[in-house]
Amino acid sequence: MRLTKTIRKTRAQNAKNKARSKNKLLTKRFIAFAVSIVIIGGAVFRIIYIKQNELTFPVLSPPASDALYKNPSQPIEARVKDLLERMSLEEKIGQMALIDKRSLSKPQDIKDFGLGGILSGAGAKPSTNDPQNWYRMVAEMKKQSKESRLGIPIFYGIDANHGHSNVLGATIFPHSIGLGASGDAELVNKIAEATASEIKATGINWNYSPSLDAPKDIRWGRVYEAYSDDPGLNSKLGVAYINGTQGPGQSYILASAKHYLGTGSMVWGESNHKKFKIDQGKILNDEHALNNYYLPPYKAAVDAGVGSIMVGLSEWGDTRIIDNKYLITDKLKTELGFKGFVVSDWYGAYEYSGTSKYRANINTINAGLDMAMLPYEYKAFIKDVRKAVQKNEISQGRIDDAVSRILYQKFRAGLFDEKEQDPDIKIVGSIAHRQLARQAVSSSTVLLKNNEVLPLSKTNGEILIAGSGADNVGRQSGAWTVEWQGIDGNWVPGATSILQGIRQTVGNSGVQIHYNKDGAFNDRKKKADVGIAIVSEKPYAEGWGDNPSPRIDKADLETIRRLKLSSNKVIVIIISGRPLFINDEIKSWDAAVAAWLPGSEGAGIADVLFRDKSFSATLPLPWPAIESQLPINHDGATKDQSRPLFPRGYGLTTN
């Protein structure tokens, strides 16, 4: 009995073991099967993917060394024509592609795909950020382009909108809003020339400036990139900048007026971008505003010979401006007679198109776009546009027109005839440029209120200094400085904070300066003569700076309050990219100064505080008191018809 039981048990155990090992085997087979499916599937997918992205250029022989287009003594038109006739369709489309340097799979792609332009989008810098390394990085890319079959050099673009500000060590000039406050075309012209020479020293040949935007709403995060809300002032300063950039000085750099068209007049709450409120938003389709406010600065820029114009990311009514043939071809190219090339903004050709990239490229090129800031996926762009031409969805004539415009500007900029030269690296951040920037700071600082406290004495007295912007070059420089969203702190080589500038100015005179960032001077026995609170906005760029209610932040208000306890008089200096709502607070200050975003030369502020120079700047746009006044029309009328805190053109002096 017992034996049979044991035998049964053993048999059952064996059966179990068998079943278990069978299961194991099945599992193993299944895993092996699944793994092979994944491997094979992956391989098939890879083949399809590579096939889809494969882009081969027809193999053509190089041109003769004496080809007409290579001859600098030939007229530009003849050189363009000769070169165009030698180009394959793929080479032409390659010229229409502008890509961010970070998107290059390998530098040789510039040569292999005949790319037309490379840019350093904000923050795209060499691994070590100094002028020498910028030069090396760009030189390598230029070399690749010159080794392409036809040797067509690239445009290398950058946003040097307040000096060559991506480069550590460069002079950081005041942002445009400050230059608008100076109203000084000659100064702007000199700044553009100085910036162009710093750009040239790093081998770059294209600057995405000037901005001709005209902000109607201070809640927008790009107010400071504009000179003014006044089309007349924008035209005057824009032309001065273009002339300084594109010559006739030593350094011809291609300028780009932006952001065509009407940017600054978007409606709050109507942005294309999910995270923004007004940037990249809708502009009302208004023919009167178009002809009277939006087009005039571009007419002035075109008449000044600007080589490129960047179309913005906004909508005109319900359609994107970049898709709008009426605005780009009929108005800009035909009516204004623009002969340069039209470039789109970052992802401008397709980010918000609501259609496929293929269709978006067709729409934008047919609307008049000549060079697309992709900024990635150049192979797909060339393939798509080639297909569209082959299917007659874009005419060969349109492609030829776009490429001729680009080539014309390349010849005009002398890119084909450039000789290798040692770069003038020393000019980057040179003393002469810093002096010019310092002068620009004092010319752009607006005195808003003065109850007999300014100018300050340079010979005696005691001054307390406080505030988030007092000793912070990053804050006073704002965004588009080294990084897209700016930096915090004092790590820009050669720069001077406002506190340092004041200390340098008073030197060893009898004036005593005490600094405490938070204004905590509570251990004092007696009040100081003057307290200066330097309050600041944190740097921001583009829609990240859209703000429903721009104001002085709580910490700085607290600092002002504390400073008042220890000073007889209080001066508030506002470092900001736009007017802030100060209606309630200003009443209790003895003096108020709008310093905008002055850049690397903080000593320029001391120059006006201590009257080494009188205050002369005036507001380049109205300074609103409350939100209900927004937007403020270009003629100065507020939305609720009440008076702004200060109108455009307001500014006191200390003469």
Report how far residue 450's alpha carbon sits from residue 569's, in angstroms, rounded to the nearest whole number: 11
Smallest separation, CB 119 to ligand BGC (Å): 6
β pairing state of 117-120 and 155-158: parallel
Active site residue 417: no
Smallest separation, CB 471 to ligand BGC (Å): 30
Q: Is 227 in the site for ligand BGC (CB under 6 A)?
A: no
Identity of the residue, 98 or 456, whose beta carbon is nearer to ligand BGC in the bound complex: 98
- Sheet strand arrangement including 591-596: 446-450, 591-596, 567-575, 528-536, 462-466, 512-515
Q: Is 122 in the site for ligand BGC (CB under 6 A)?
A: yes
Q: Is 208 in the site for ligand BGC (CB under 6 A)?
A: yes
Beta bridge partners of 157: 119, 206
8 Å CB contact between 612 and 632: no
99, two tokens = 């890509």
Q: Is 224 in the site for ligand BGC (CB under 6 A)?
A: no
Question: CA distances (Å), 2 to each of 8, 9, 75, in order?
Answer: 10, 10, 113
Q: How many residues does the chain have?
A: 655
Residues 197, 202, 207, 209, CA torsion sign: negative
User: What is residue 533's three-state secondary structure?
Assistant: strand
Smallest separation, CB 227 to ligand BGC (Å): 15
What are the residues whose beta carbons fall under 8 Å from the beta carbon of 517, sequence distance 6 or more?
466, 467, 468, 470, 471, 559
Smallest separation, CB 346 to ligand BGC (Å): 4
Report how far residue 650's alpha carbon sits from residue 525's, in angstroms, rounded to the nearest whole number: 39
Amino acid at 197: S
Instruction: Give 159-191 as a DSSP string.
Output: --BTBSTTSTTS--PPPHHHHHHHT-HHHHHHH
Question: CA distances (Å), 46 to each of 105, 180, 379, in order?
Answer: 17, 54, 16
Identity of the residue, 159 or 323, whose beta carbon is nearer to ligand BGC in the bound complex: 159
Smallest separation, CB 542 to ligand BGC (Å): 6
Single out the catalytic residue among 130, 193, 198, 345. 345
Identity of the residue, 119 or 534, whose beta carbon is nearer to ligand BGC in the bound complex: 119
């400071």: which residue's tokens?
224
8 Å CB contact between 227 and 180: yes
Q: Is 345 in the site for ligand BGC (CB under 6 A)?
A: yes
Smallest separation, CB 625 to ligand BGC (Å): 30
Identity of the residue, 257 or 645, whose beta carbon is nearer to ligand BGC in the bound complex: 257
Q: Is 480 in the site for ligand BGC (CB under 6 A)?
A: no
Smallest separation, CB 176 to ligand BGC (Å): 12
């571009």: which residue's tokens?
298
One character per residue 249-268, x = contact with ligand BGC (rule: CB under 6 A): ---------x----------
Alpha carbon 71 to its chain centroid, in Å, reads 36
Identity of the residue, 308 or 445, whose beta carbon is nearer to ligand BGC in the bound complex: 308
Smallest separation, CB 100 to ligand BGC (Å): 8
Among 159, 193, 323, 556, binds ligand BGC (CB under 6 A): 159
Among 346, 358, 515, 650, binds ligand BGC (CB under 6 A): 346
The three-state (H, E, C) secondary structure of 496-508, written as one string: ECHHHHHHHHHCC
Tell me the CA end-to-end span of the chain in Å, nearest whole number.
Answer: 124
What are the residues whose beta carbons fall under 8 Å from the beta carbon of 404, sequence distance 6 or more?
80, 81, 84
Of 119, 204, 216, the closest CA to residue 484 belongs to 119
Identity of the residue, 159 or 537, whose beta carbon is nearer to ligand BGC in the bound complex: 159
Of 488, 458, 484, the closest CA to residue 612 belongs to 458
Single out the catalytic residue among 542, 546, 590, 601. 542
One character per residue 511-550, x = contact with ligand BGC (rule: CB under 6 A): -------------------------------x--------
Identity of the residue, 542 or 607, whose beta carbon is nearer to ligand BGC in the bound complex: 542
One character per residue 30-69, x = contact with ligand BGC (rule: CB under 6 A): ----------------------------------------
Smallest separation, CB 157 to ligand BGC (Å): 7
Amino acid at 405: R
Identity of the residue, 180 or 469, whose beta carbon is nearer to ligand BGC in the bound complex: 180
Identity of the residue, 388 or 487, whose beta carbon is nearer to ligand BGC in the bound complex: 487
Smallest separation, CB 382 to ligand BGC (Å): 21
95, two tokens = 């010229």
Active site residue 345: yes
Q: Is 279 in the site for ligand BGC (CB under 6 A)?
A: no
Smallest separation, CB 258 to ligand BGC (Å): 6
Identity of the residue, 164 or 562, whose beta carbon is nearer to ligand BGC in the bound complex: 164
Of 513, 532, 534, 528, the closest CA to residue 568 belongs to 528
Kind plus residue range of the DSSP H or E element containing 465: strand 462-466
Q: Which residues of 134-165 are buried (b: 16+ CB within 10 A; e: fewer)?
A: bbebbeebbebbbebbbbbbbbbbbbbbbbbb
Q: Is 212 in the site for ligand BGC (CB under 6 A)?
A: no
Identity of the residue, 184 or 279, whose beta carbon is nearer to ligand BGC in the bound complex: 279
Cβ-based neighbour number of residue 187 at 10 Å: 20
The three-state (H, E, C) secondary structure of 114-139, written as one string: CCCEEEECCCCCCCCCCHHHHHHHHH
User: What is residue 571's three-state secondary structure?
Assistant: strand
Number of residues that bind ligand BGC (CB under 6 A): 8
Q: Is 121 in the site for ligand BGC (CB under 6 A)?
A: yes
Binding interface with ligand BGC (CB under 6 A)? 121-122, 159, 208, 258, 345-346, 542
Active site positions, annotated: 345, 542
